[in-house]
Amino acid sequence: MQMQAPIAAKARRPWLLIVPALLFLIVFFVLPLVDNGLRSVAGDAGEWTGARYVTLLTDSFYLRVTFETVLLSAGVTLICVIIGYPVAYFLVRKAGRWAGVVVFLLIAPLLTSIIMRTFGWQVLFARRGLVNNLLVDQLGVISSPLRLTNSPEIAVAALVHVLVPFMVLAIATVLQSVDRRLEESAKILGAGRWRAFWEVTLPLSMDGIGTGAILVFMIANGSFVTLVLLGGGIQTLPLLIYQQFNTTRDFGMASAMSTILLVIAVFCLFLQLRLVRRQGA
Amino acid sequence: MSVQDRPAAEVLSLRGVRKAYGPVLAVDDLDLTVEAGALVALLGPSGCGKTTTLRMVAGFETPDTGSIRIGEREVAALPPHRRNLGMVFQNYSLFPHRTVAENIGFGLRMAGVARAERDRRVEEMLDLIRLPGRGDMYPSQLSGGQQQRVALGRSLIVNPKVLLLDEPLGALDKALRESMQFEVRAMQQRLGITTLLVTHDQEEALSMADRVAVMNRGRILQIGSPNDIYDRPQSRFVAEFLGTSNIFEGRVSPDGTALLVPGGNGDVAVPLEAPAAAGQPLLLSVRPERMRLGANRGEGANFEGRITGAVFRGNYAAYQLDVPALGRELFVYRQADGPLGTVSFGLGEVLTLGWTPRDAVPVSAE
């Protein structure tokens, strides 16, 4: 009986390893979140109020901003799937010994800070930027510079540029585990190249598309820097939250909007969990 | 009933097929014919080109030169889905996201067969592969043997001109493999389907095929019935790849009709089927089960040997003997015919072993 105590203590020890991380998370993540949540429902006289949420969910301005935020993220996600899938397919099935180089090229941009990458787009498309310089001065195709920055298209392009590697890696990971002999089986059984892809490869890589899409959607939904620098005219929740804090100084409203963003993110995570669970079954 | 009465229609034929990957010649000027309804096995070590050959027939690889015909049609330039083939892979390659019935009906759906007709034929196939009522299950819910039967059914339902089997039983355990060998062979014969089997397992090739083609380094060294290939190997490689063989060195006699091999007490003459150049060096192969082992000398070659290894293998015992006269070891198999619970000879015993010319086969050094 005496031997059992130390063994039990030993078995408990692994839990100790996560205590520092747990404390860190509680102090710097959970508590601020709780504080944020409380702030969003705190009235001026210290009473509870749901008025801010009522405004957010009924006022046409806020609904339009939320809708635009989700629409922008969905658009970016869709473009990432369309651009990312072929790259992932090439990476896994065709790149062969060049796969390492392709992965490096994919990841390399992530090593630069997002602000630098966004300024890169500025340099390209500014009023006196590379593109306008080329068109006006070098080629003389047009007489006056085009207004290229501060347009939604450039903001979307910059977001896709930042997020497409996540999509490629998510799809490639799943595609890697799809046995190419499954495609060959389909071909032998009479399916042409596209049919085999449509019937076998695509359905089996759906999990990768799902994971990548949720990841990209969530990051795009919370993106701020890119839109501040490039996104002329687009009004999204993160931008509005920034304004509420810095300009209007309505902390309560900003907190409520943060909660709405958080709910969307949690919903996405829930979708992803369901996806993973279905795959495991 | 006899095979000769029917015209031996060629269903699959390869002529002068070559395939190189960079500087590596995978398949070198290969000729192969599979007659209607026959099962031919391509047997060889890994890297011998047998899989490349199969993949060229399937259409996954394109030969550099040569022709591949299925029936009357030249297919070398045709994509896989237009060759009307069936193929079973080693790892079954069933579609994991589709039910057993959907897997089996896949080929029919690709061919545009109507739903009702498809369902009926899938049910028939499920009966044929002895999995009735399992159509709604997913492949992962079946055992290895059952999955292999589904893979077979999926290939056969489209009535392919030729069935390709790529190490089809390699992933199964030994007992299941043997019963599946019988099952696949029985179904192949019942349906009379022309089949090309690729395997590195000599036992699988010998027990399933009408004809076995032994491959090495991109070439077919010998092709013949399993019996013929085993008992009359033409080269050292074939003799040693199929089972074990004792190889002796000899020389063609001055008149060119026999092979003279040192037999312990002067040369022993082994008649040659075709005359060869006098004095040419040749090898002789004697199977371990054809070797004589005992206390007395006998006809043909005789050597003294000491047993250095004895392994009980159930229905027979394998002995390794050190032969000082040859400076190397020879192998002898003895049927277990002594009293139950005994092995005839023990380690260290000195015995006489030998062979007679009628049990020996001259082989090339290749």
Chosen from B62, B84, B93, B97 to mutate, greatest number of chain A CBs within 10 A: B93
- List of residues 6+ apart from B42 with CB closer than 8 A: B32, B50, B53, B54, B196, B197, B198, B199, B213, B215, B220
Q: Do A184 and B93 touch (CB under 8 A)?
A: yes
- B42 to A114, A212, B54, B164, B210: CA distances (angstroms): 58, 44, 9, 11, 11
Instruction: For chain B, list residues with pLDDT below 70.
Output: 1-9
Cβ–Cβ under 8 Å, residues A179 and B91: yes
Judgement on whether residues A39 and A62 belong to the same structural domain of the protein: no
Could you give the number of structural domains in chain A? 2
A192 to chain B: nearest residue by CA?
Answer: B81
Of residues A181, A196, A199, nearest to B93 (C-beta): A181
Percentage of chain B exceeding pLDDT 90? 68
By CB neighbour count within 10 A (0-12 exposed, 13-18 middle, 19+ buried), where does B257 fall?
middle
Question: Which residues constitute the domain of residue B160?
Answer: 3-237
Judgement on whether residues A158 and A36 belong to the same structural domain of the protein: no
- List of residues 6+ apart from A198 with CB closer than 8 A: none
**Contacts A–B by Cβ distance under 8 A:** 66
3-state secondary structure of B30: strand
**Residue B250 backbone phi and psi in degrees, to 5:** -150, 180
Question: Domain holding B129: CATH number?
Answer: 3.40.50.300
Question: Which residues constitute the domain of residue A115?
Answer: 53-280
pTM of structure: 0.81
Q: Length of chain B, please?
A: 366
pLDDT score for B199: 94
Q: How many Cβ atoms are within 10 Å of B254's Cβ, its own excluded?
A: 10
Judgement on whether residues A68 and A122 belong to the same structural domain of the protein: yes
pLDDT score for A1: 43
Judgement on whether residues B124 and B182 belong to the same structural domain of the protein: yes
Q: Do A188 and B155 touch (CB under 8 A)?
A: yes
pLDDT score for A118: 83
Is this complex scored with an ipTM above 0.85?
Answer: no
Paired tokens of B200? 């590195």
Examine the fold and report which residue of A28, A49, A70 is the final residue of a domain before the chain moves on. Answer: A49
Percentage of chain B exceeding pLDDT 70? 97
- B52 to A36, A190, B48, B76, B366: CA distances (angstroms): 65, 21, 9, 13, 22
Judgement on whether residues A265 and A229 belong to the same structural domain of the protein: yes
Could you give the number of structural domains in chain B? 2
Judgement on whether residues B274 and B227 belong to the same structural domain of the protein: no
Q: How many Cβ atoms are within 10 Å of B155's Cβ, its own excluded?
A: 24
Q: Does B67 touch chain A (CB under 8 A)?
A: no
Q: Does A192 touch chain B (CB under 8 A)?
A: yes
Listing from the earlier edge strand, what are the strands of the sheet with B65-70?
Answer: B24-35, B10-21, B65-70, B73-74
Q: For residue B304, which amino acid is it?
A: E
Mean pLDDT (10-residue bins), chain A, 281 residues? 50 81 93 92 84 90 91 95 95 87 86 84 80 79 73 86 92 92 94 93 92 92 84 83 87 91 89 71 42
